[in-house]
A and B are shown apart, each in its own frame.
Chain A
Amino acid sequence: MNKFSGFLLAAVLSMGAQAEIALIVHPSNNAELDADYIQKIYTGKLASFPDGESVVAYNFEESNPLRQQFDEKVLHRQTQQIQALWAKLVFTGKGTPPTVAADPAEVMKAVAADAAAIGYVDASLVDASVKVVAKF
């Protein structure tokens, strides 16, 4: 019984620990991006915004919990599956994966400075230097 309630508590806590993810672009970027479009960018099927401008996407290392959460919630895949997918694209010359940022601050800075950039951070970190296009 104790064990079970402990398990439940842990489950609830870990759910609570899931950050809300904000997908961010440069404030001047008026692109409308839905989950499907974002999925295509982060799985190498699209490399441009709807208006045709090239995308510079940012991601985190595969060991980063936010990355794993993003892969599951937004891309509906496990991080390993995304890794395998990019392995195929990279080694066949069919795609270039998103740039890996060291931390959310780097993504905020890069997106605030580049009209072509797209990235995601914990929603609580967002300020006026970037624009939120979607939350997950």
Chain B
Amino acid sequence: MRDLSPPMASAAFHILVALAEQDRHGYGIMLRVREQSGGRVPLRTGAFYRHLSRMIDDGLVAEAATRPADADPRRGTYYRLTPAGRRVAAAERTRLVDMIEASAVLSRAPRGGRA
């Protein structure tokens, strides 16, 4: 298994987060990522599926065996987060939180000044 120790690409993290909420189909994930990031992660088809295929290969994401009750029958495959994926996402979250805490000093520092 590939070494997925954080940091990971923000797009990948967004995908994991989007899937953590619920199982989604491909386009659904892309839409959700755009929404979550306020458009700052402009995930397009090619890049998205590259991330997705890697995460499938690494066992973070799997095709959903059952489809949600409200699933559109015309949609393609639904994807779901695996337990491993959930752990990796959690680890990444922890890392990001730690970083934010560690960098709290930035918000208190006077502008242009020196500590």
Q: Do A and B come from one complex?
A: no
Interface of A with B (CB < 8 Å)? none
Interface of B with A (CB < 8 Å)? none
